[in-house]
Amino acid sequence: MSSTASVGIPREVKRDERRVALTPDAARELTRHGLKVWVERGAGKEAGLADEEFAAAGAVLVDAAAAWSANVVVKVKEPQPEEYRFLREDLVLFTYLHLAGYPAVAQALMAAKVTAIAYETVQMGDGSLPLLSPMSEIAGRLAAQVGASLLEKPHGGPGILIGGCTGVQPARVVVLGAGTVGWSAARIAAGMDAEVFLLDRSSARLRQLEAERRGRMVSLMSSQTTIERLAPTADLLIGAVLTPGGRAPTLVDEQLVQRMTPGSVIVDVAIDQGGCIATSRETVHTDPVRTVHGVGHYAVGNMPGAVPRTATQALVSVTLPYIQAIAGSGLRQAVTGKPELLGGVNTADGSVCHPTVARALGVEQRHPMACLG
């Protein structure tokens, strides 16, 4: 790819999504490396980033069609139906995709033969997910914060202060999964003096976190029996499990939700992968809570979109080196220098290239290098 390659930054159109895929500082870095940066007008407004800042950084302000015409299009969330018309065979798309949870998006990408790289499946040799971790941390922190608010009576809860007070029992918070989301949620809840039970299937992970455990936090090996015992006792139940590229496993069935105390709250952070609570359905920031069997379900699919300024800065801080590599030297060369990118390739040449995504969608997988020709 030549030094005149272009990077397009469309405005996000998913409902209540306020993040943007690039900051003016990042745009300046890309233009310094000889790349053209085309930013759709108004793309950064909701994140507190004005068009004038992007223009001053060397970006060109354009309309949606021009932003999508770039060699590499960088977004925050998966393409929406109104954006499918912009998909094309020679496009490299770099964004959060979660195709296991959004099979219609996968079909659109395959039909258009888009080379689509998912932030959430870029995976290092040690198993870490560098482009997912910042948003997972934010979502976990928000899960505890939102859950505490929903326990208050004016927000439909039973009127429980999450940390209790002197002589009064605090709320019980059960967190399913001790990854970045779960640990972040557990830390914040424990910091608010809640009684926290953190469950995970990995004894090594729980042992790793033991030194940092604080407050009224208990770590437990997860099993169906443990979940069935603890979930009905939770004032706040947080679903925080992750299968990179795949659908989240259902850990809490409808019968278990029925046993929870009326007024209790579920925050299903795994909803963008289908959810880990059987009764969860994706909601939006402007209408975030559904009540099922007397239990409030918060299942917003883009939780970090509630804090777009923080989330945008956190996201771009980790994606910028990859954007520069992909746009500057082309994807095949970028994969050579950053082999973790290969795991990020979800679709190319009309095929699904990630094994977990392929299994979740029930389609055949092609090796990503074969897809890239």
Which residues have a catalytic role annotated?
A: 98, 272
* Phi and psi angles of residue 76, each rounded to the nearest 5 degrees, phi first: -100, -50
Nearest to 244 by CA among 165, 359, 138: 359
CA 48/CA 67 separation, integer angstroms: 20
CA 144/CA 140 separation, integer angstroms: 7
Q: At what angle do helices 308-329 and 133-150 cross, to 10 degrees?
A: 160
What stretches of the chain adopt beta strand conformation (E)? Answer: 6-9, 36-40, 60-62, 72-74, 92-95, 115-118, 172-176, 195-200, 217-221, 236-239, 265-268, 289-292, 295-298, 345-348, 351-352
CA 275/CA 335 separation, integer angstroms: 31
56-86 burial, b if ≥16 CB within 10 A, otherwise e? ebbbebbebebbbbbbbbbbbbbbeeebbeb
